[in-house]
Chains A and B, each alone.
Chain A
Amino acid sequence: MLTLWTRVVQAAFIFLTTESIGVLLDPCGHISPESPVVQLGSNFTAVCVLKEKCMDNFAVNADNIFWKTNHAIVPKEQYTVINRTASSVTFRDVSSLNTQLTCNIYAFGQIEQNVYGITIISGLPPEKPKNLNCIVNEEKNMMCQWDPGRKTYLETNYTLKSEWATEKFADCKAQRDTPNSCTLDYSPVYFVNIEVWVEAENALGNITSDHINFDPIDKVKPNPPHNLSVRSSEELSSILKLAWINPSIKSFLRLKYSIQYRTKDASTWSQIPPEDTSSTRSSFTVQDLKPFTEYVFRIRCMKEDGKGFWSDWSEEASGITYEARPSKEPSFWYKIDPSHTHGYRPVKLIWKTLPPFEANGKILDYEVTLTRWKSHFQNYRVNDTKLTVNLTNDRYIATLTARNLVGRSDASVLTIPACDFRAAHPVMDLKAFPKDNKLWVEWTAPTESVNKYILEWCVLSDKSPCIPDWQQEDGTVHLTYLRGNLMESKCYLITVTPVYADGPGSPESVRAYLKQAAPSKGPTVRTKKVGKNEAVLEWDQLPVDVQNGFIRNYTILYKTAFGNETAVNVDSSHTEYTLSSLTSDTLYMVRMAAYTDEGGMYGPDFTFTTPKFAQGEIEAIVVPVCLAFLLTTLLGVLFCFNKRDLIKKHIWPNVPDPSKSHIAQWSPHTPLRHNFNSKDQMYSDGNFTDVSVVEIEVNDKKPFPEDLKSMDLFKKEKNSTEGHSSGIGGSSCMSSSRPSISSGDENESGQNTLSTVQYSTVVHSGYRHQVPPVQVFSRSESTQPLLDSEERPEDLQLVDNVDSGDGVLPRQQYFKQNCSQHETSQDISHFERPKQVSSVNEEDFVRLKQQQISDHISQSCGSEQMKMFQEISTAAVFGPGTEGEVERFETVEMEAAIDEGMPKSYLPQTVRQGGYVPQ
C-alpha cells in the first residue's frame, strides 16, 4: 500500500514538472527567418512575432519589442513595428560573420525578458573554380586540382565531376581541408576522352568551373623506369652502358627519357642531351666519361610527344669507368740537405700523387731515373712519394713516371744542378691575396723560358717550425691558388721558385693570410723614458702567433685620472712613441691596441707618473746658487784678507801683557822697528805692523838649483794643498797662498827647527846683506811666557847641537806671521812639547795627535811635518801604546783640542840664544 502511494506521488510530480517545463519552453514568440545565412555586405531583415497568450500575460505588444545583437541593444531606428504582434529589424551591409540576434520585451513594462533568438551566419557564395587541371598517375589514380577562389566563410562543397561521351562516372568530393583538389581512386581509361569539371556549392549558391575535356593519356605521369644498371667497357675507358626496364605503359605508349649523371663526389648533375633519348628504349651508352671514375646515374621518362608529366626519377645506379693510362706526369721536386759528406750530397726527391682524374686508375708504383752523364743511369722503383739518394756534386737529370694497370704516364723531368750552380732569374711582382676562401698567388714571369713553377708554403709560428707544403704549376701559369688545407688567421710564408731547363731559379717569398682576424693579444706598452712633459713609450712587436693578420697600425690611448682619453695612431713599423704635452707630476693611464684589417685588440693597461721637475732642473738651480755662495764667500775672504789689519785693530788689537813678560836681554843696538824702512816700503799699507822681520843667515852650501828643486817640490805640494788651504789656514786667520808658500818654506825649515829659533826672530846678519854690528834681539809680541828656553836650556842646547850637527845654519829670509797655522803647529811641536809633557795629561796629547792626523788626512801639504811630528810625539814621548786610543776620538773632539790646546796666534817667539827683544 505504501509502495503504491509512493509511486502515485512520483507520477504526480513528474507530470507537474513536465507541464512546467513545457510552459517554460514554450516561447512567447519567434523570429523569422529561423536560420538565416546572409551574404556579407548585404541587407538583412528579421521579424519577431509575439504570441497572443504572452501578450496578454505580460501586457505587451509589438511596441514593447527591442532587439539585441550579441547582447547589445540595436538602435530603435532600425526597428519597424509591422502590426500589434510583429516587429522587424533591418541590418544594412552585414559585416559580422556570426551574430546572435535576440528579440526581447519588457514584461509588465519593466522586466526584461527574452522572447526568441537566432544566429545570423554571414559569408560569401563560392567563386568559380579556375585553372582546373588533372594528372594521371599510371596504374594508380587521377588527381585534379583547381583554384577555389576567395574564401567563403561558409561550409562549401567542391565536387569533381567526370564523364565520357556516353557514360557518367561517380563524383569525387573534395576533402574539407583540401578544397582545391580531389583524387579519383581509379586509373582512367586511356585513349578515351573524359570531360571533367568542378562544382562548388554552399548556402549562398553554387557555381561550376569550366569543363576540360582530355584524353587521360595526355595527362599521364608514367611510373619511372626501374632496375637501372650501369656497366663499364674494357675496350673504352670513357663509356658506361646503362640499361633499365620501362614502365608497363611503354607497351602501348612511346616514351622519351631524361638521363642525368654525376661523379660520385659531385653534387650537381650533368644531363644527357635530350635529343639522344627522345625515343623509346631500354638502354643507353654514355660517352666522354673520365677513366677510372665512378659515376652515378638516374633516369626518368614521359610520353614521347611531351604531353603529360615526367615520371619520378628512378633509383640511382653507379658504375666505374675502366682504367686508362695516367694522363699527366706527377709533380716533381727535390730538397738538398745542406750537410755535405765526403763529396756527396743527400738529395730528397719528392713528388705528389696524381689526382684520380689524372691517375686514370690505381697507381701501382713510380719509376725514378737519375742520369749523371748520358750513359750513367740509376733506376729506382718506388711505391712511396719520396726518394732520398746521395748524389755527387755533379749535375743530374731526374725523371719520374707513374704506372697503373694500363700504362705509364709521361715523364716528369727535373734538373738537379751541380753544387756550384748559381740560381738566378726569380719571379717578379710576387703577391698573394685571399679570394673566394682561397689563397691566390700571382706573379710576373721572368723573361727566361720557365719549365714550371714550384710553390711552397708553410705556417709562420714562433712555437712550431715551418713545415712546408708545395705544389707544381705549369710554366705558363702566373696565377693560381694554394691547394692545401689552409687555416684562417695563420701567416703563410709563400715561396715561388721558377724552374728552368738548367735548374731552379732564385726563390721569391711573400707573406699572406687566408683570412685575417683581430690580434689575439694586444701589445704590452711600457715607458722607456718619462720626462716632466713627455714620456717615451715602447713596446715589442706582437709575436706572429697572436697577430692573426698584418698589423696595420697601433692605437695608443692615454688619459689622466679625470681627463678625457686621447687616442694616437702609430704606424705599425714603430716600436716606440713619444707622448708630448703631458702635465708634470700627473698619473697617466695608457693602453695600446694593435689593429689588423679585421679589427684590433687592446693590451694591458699601463700607468706612469710624470716627475715634478725635469731632469737637470734641480741642478740648474742648485749649482748657480752654490757658485754664487762660493763666490760671495771668496770675495768675503779676500776682503777680510785685504782688510785684516784694519779688522784686527778694531776687533782684537794686540795688547801685550806686561805682567807675563820679562826681558831676557835687551840689546842696546837693537834697531828700531822703524828702521826697517824697506819693509815698510814694501808693505806700505801697514799691514805688517805686528810682523817681526827675521833674517837668518844660513850657511847653506846647497847650490842654487837645489833650492829651485825644493821650490818645485813645494809648488807641487802647494798645488795639491791649495784646495785645502782655506780649511785650516782660513779658519786660523786670513791665510792665503802666500802663507802656504811660507809654510812650504817652513816645511823645509821645519827640518831645521831644532836649529832655528821659533819663538822669536834673531837676525844674525843684517837685513838684506847688512851685517849688524852686534847681535840683535827682537822682542816677541807674544803673550806666551818665554821662560821655556831659559828654563830648559837643554832644548836650546839640542838646537845648537843640531845646528852644529849640520854644520851650517840655513840662511834664509822669512816674513813671519804670527797667525800662521803652520808656524803654530811647528811651534807647538817643538816648543810646547816639553811643557805639554810635563803639564798636560795624556788625553790632551791624544787630542793633539788627532788634530795632526786630521791635518794629515785633510791636508796633503805639510805631510812631512806631520810625519815628523808624529814620530817625535809618539815615539819619543808616549810610545806606541797610545795609537789605539787616538783612533777612538771623534772629529769634533779633535777640533775642540785644537781650539783649546793650540793658540792660533801671537805665539811666543823664542830668541835663539836665549835673548829677547821686546817689541
Chain B
Amino acid sequence: MAPFFWLPGILSLLLVLHWEHGAGSPTPDKATCTTDHPCPSNLMTQIKNQLEQLNSTANTLFVLYYTAQGEPFPSEVDKLCGGHDLTNFPPFHAEGTEKDKLVELYRIIAYFNISLGNIMEDQKTLNPNDQNLHSKLSSTADTVRGLLNNVLCHLCNEYNMGHVDMSFGPDISGNDIFHKKKLGCQCLFNYKQVIAELTQAF
C-alpha cells in the first residue's frame, strides 16, 4: 500500500497513543465504534492468515535488514540485535479470551506499526538505494495495517470496541545512526519472535 495512505492512520493512531498514554487496560469506546461497511464474516480466518503472512516474511525481513545495515550487524547479529531487549513490545497472553487476545494483538501490531514506520523513515536516509529492503518493509507495513483494520473491525463488530489504549514505544529520534540501526534491528528481531508467538496463538 502506498505510504501516503497509511501515514494519516499512523498519525491518528499516535494521537490515540498519546491521549491514552499511561492507561493500563483497554477501554471500549462505543461512540467511535463505526465502520464504513460491514466486516466480513471470516475475519478471524483473515487475521490468522495475516499473522501467517507476517510470520512467513518476518525472518526474511530481519535478515534483509541487518544485512543491509552492513558490518558489524551481519557478523554480530545476535549480540547487536538480540542481546538487549530495548524494544518494549506490549505483552501478549496466549491463554486469554479471544477478545483479550485481540486487544493485546492490536496493541502489539499497533506498536510494531509505529516502530516499523520509524524504521522505514530511517532506512530511507540510511539505505536509500536498497529497494528490496524498502519494498519488504513497505509490504510488511501494509500487511500490518491490514491486520489492524481486521482486528479493529472485529473488535468493533463483535465486541463493540472503538479504540484500544496504547503505550508508547521507544523514542529513537535524535540517536546516532548506529543506534538507529541497532534499535531497528532489535525491533525486527523481537517482531520475528512475537509474530511467531501470535501466529501460534491464533
Query: Which A positions have Cβ atoms within 8 angstroms of B?
Result: 163-170, 185-193, 195, 211, 213, 215, 217, 251-252
| Chain B neighbourhood of A192, CB < 8 A | 46, 50, 146-147, 149-150
Q: Are A191 and B53 in contact (CB under 8 A)?
A: yes
20 CB < 8 A contacts A-B? A164-B153, A165-B36, A166-B36, A167-B5, A167-B9, A167-B149, A169-B1, A186-B1, A189-B142, A189-B143, A190-B49, A190-B50, A191-B47, A191-B53, A192-B150, A193-B39, A217-B49, A251-B53, A252-B56, A252-B57
Which chain B residue shows the least CB distance to A215? B46
Q: Are A165 and B53 in contact (CB under 8 A)?
A: no
Which chain B residue shows the least CB distance to A166? B149
Q: Are A165 and B143 in contact (CB under 8 A)?
A: no
- Which residue in B9, B40, B49, B152 is a CB contact (below 8 Å) of A213? B40
Q: Are B49 and A166 in contact (CB under 8 A)?
A: no
User: Is B31 close to A, CB under 8 A?
Assistant: no
Q: Are B52 and A189 in contact (CB under 8 A)?
A: no
Interface residues of B in 28-68 (CB under 8 A from A): 35-40, 46-47, 49-50, 52-53, 56-57
Q: A170-B5, A190-B49, A251-B56 are in contact. Are A165 and B142 (CB under 8 A)?
A: no
Q: Are B56 and A191 in contact (CB under 8 A)?
A: no
Report which residue of A166, A186, A192, A213 has the largest number of chain B beta carbons within 10 angstroms of its beta carbon. A192
- Alpha-carbon distance A166/B1, docked complex (angstroms): 15
User: Is B145 close to A, CB under 8 A?
Assistant: yes
- Which residue in B46, B142, B152 is a CB contact (below 8 Å) of A166? B152
| Chain A neighbourhood of B49, CB < 8 A | 190-191, 217, 252
- Alpha-carbon distance A170/B153, docked complex (angstroms): 20
Report which residue of B37, B57, B152 has the largest number of chain A beta carbons within 10 angstroms of its beta carbon. B37
Beyond A190-B53, A192-B147, 8 additional pairs, beta carbon < 8 A: A167-B9, A169-B1, A192-B149, A192-B150, A215-B40, A252-B52, A252-B56, A252-B57
Chain B interface size, under 10 / 10 to 19 / 20 to 34 / 35 or more: 20 to 34
Which chain B residue shows the least CB distance to A217? B49
Which chain A residue shows the least CB distance to B49? A191
Which chain A residue shows the least CB distance to B9? A167
- Alpha-carbon distance A191/B40, docked complex (angstroms): 10
Which chain B residue shows the least CB distance to A163? B36
Q: Are B46 and A191 in contact (CB under 8 A)?
A: yes
- Alpha-carbon distance A187/B38, docked complex (angstroms): 23
| Chain B neighbourhood of A185, CB < 8 A | 2
Q: Are A189 and B145 in contact (CB under 8 A)?
A: yes
Which chain A residue shows the least CB distance to B6? A167
Q: Which 10 A-B pairs have the closest CB atoms?
A: A189-B146, A192-B146, A252-B53, A251-B56, A191-B46, A165-B35, A191-B49, A193-B40, A165-B153, A191-B50
- Interface 1/0 per residue, B134-168 and A, CB below 8 Å: 00000100110111011011000000000000000
| Chain B neighbourhood of A215, CB < 8 A | 40, 46
| Chain A neighbourhood of B149, CB < 8 A | 164-167, 192
Q: Are B1 and A165 in contact (CB under 8 A)?
A: no
Interface residues of B in 67-118 (CB under 8 A from A): none
- Shortest beta-carbon distance from A910 to chain B in Å: 166
Which chain B residue shows the least CB distance to A169? B5
| Chain A neighbourhood of B1, CB < 8 A | 169, 186-189
| Chain A neighbourhood of B40, CB < 8 A | 193, 213, 215
Which chain B residue shows the least CB distance to A216? B146
- Shortest beta-carbon distance from A407 to chain B in Å: 50
| Chain B neighbourhood of A190, CB < 8 A | 49-50, 53, 143, 146
| Chain A neighbourhood of B139, CB < 8 A | 187
- Shortest beta-carbon distance from B108 to chain A in Å: 17
| Chain A neighbourhood of B153, CB < 8 A | 164-166
- Alpha-carbon distance A195/B149, docked complex (angstroms): 13
| Chain A neighbourhood of B53, CB < 8 A | 190-191, 251-252
Q: Are A213 and B145 in contact (CB under 8 A)?
A: no
- Shortest beta-carbon distance from A176 to chain B in Å: 24
| Chain B neighbourhood of A189, CB < 8 A | 1, 142-143, 145-146
- Alpha-carbon distance A195/B142, docked complex (angstroms): 17
Q: Are A168 and B146 in contact (CB under 8 A)?
A: no
Q: Are A186 and B2 in contact (CB under 8 A)?
A: yes
- Alpha-carbon distance A723/B139, docked complex (angstroms): 141
- Which residue in A191, A211, A217, A252 is a CB contact (below 8 Å) of B150? A191
- Interface 1/0 per residue, B12-30 and A, CB below 8 Å: 0000000000000000000
- Alpha-carbon distance A134/B46, docked complex (angstroms): 19
Which chain B residue shows the least CB distance to A189? B146
- Alpha-carbon distance A167/B145, docked complex (angstroms): 10
Q: Are A195 and B52 in contact (CB under 8 A)?
A: no
| Chain A neighbourhood of B37, CB < 8 A | 163, 165, 195, 211, 213
- Shortest beta-carbon distance from A212 to chain B in Å: 12
| Chain A neighbourhood of B56, CB < 8 A | 251-252
- Alpha-carbon distance A191/B147, docked complex (angstroms): 8
Q: Are B57 and A251 in contact (CB under 8 A)?
A: yes
- Alpha-carbon distance A822/B56, docked complex (angstroms): 157
- Shortest beta-carbon distance from B124 to chain A in Å: 18
Q: Are A165 and B146 in contact (CB under 8 A)?
A: no
- Alpha-carbon distance A192/B53, docked complex (angstroms): 12
Which chain A residue shows the least CB distance to B57? A251
Q: Are A165 and B39 in contact (CB under 8 A)?
A: yes
- Alpha-carbon distance A34/B71, docked complex (angstroms): 72
Which chain B residue shows the least CB distance to A248? B57
- Shortest beta-carbon distance from B192 to chain A in Å: 14
- Shortest beta-carbon distance from A375 to chain B in Å: 77
- Alpha-carbon distance A165/B53, docked complex (angstroms): 20
- Alpha-carbon distance A164/B149, docked complex (angstroms): 8
| Chain B neighbourhood of A251, CB < 8 A | 53, 56-57
| Chain B neighbourhood of A165, CB < 8 A | 35-39, 149, 153
- Alpha-carbon distance A189/B57, docked complex (angstroms): 14
- Alpha-carbon distance A376/B36, docked complex (angstroms): 99
- Shortest beta-carbon distance from B96 to chain A in Å: 23
- Shortest beta-carbon distance from B186 to chain A in Å: 24
- Alpha-carbon distance A252/B149, docked complex (angstroms): 19
| Chain A neighbourhood of B147, CB < 8 A | 192
| Chain A neighbourhood of B150, CB < 8 A | 191-192
- Shortest beta-carbon distance from B48 to chain A in Å: 9
Which chain A residue shows the least CB distance to B55? A252
Which chain A residue shows the least CB distance to B34? A166
- Alpha-carbon distance A187/B138, docked complex (angstroms): 11
| Chain A neighbourhood of B50, CB < 8 A | 190-192
Which chain B residue shows the least CB distance to A188? B1
- Alpha-carbon distance A166/B39, docked complex (angstroms): 9
Which chain A residue shows the least CB distance to B39? A165
Which chain A residue shows the least CB distance to B46? A191
Q: Are A168 and B52 in contact (CB under 8 A)?
A: no
| Chain A neighbourhood of B2, CB < 8 A | 170, 185-186
Q: Are A191 and B57 in contact (CB under 8 A)?
A: no
| Chain A neighbourhood of B38, CB < 8 A | 165
- Shortest beta-carbon distance from B180 to chain A in Å: 27
| Chain B neighbourhood of A186, CB < 8 A | 1-2
- Shortest beta-carbon distance from A702 to chain B in Å: 160
| Chain B neighbourhood of A164, CB < 8 A | 36, 146, 149, 153
Which chain B residue shows the least CB distance to A249? B53
- Shortest beta-carbon distance from B27 to chain A in Å: 18
| Chain A neighbourhood of B39, CB < 8 A | 165, 193
| Chain B neighbourhood of A167, CB < 8 A | 5, 9, 145, 149
- Alpha-carbon distance A862/B67, docked complex (angstroms): 154
| Chain B neighbourhood of A168, CB < 8 A | 36
Which chain A residue shows the least CB distance to B8? A167
- Alpha-carbon distance A595/B2, docked complex (angstroms): 79
| Chain B neighbourhood of A187, CB < 8 A | 1, 139, 142
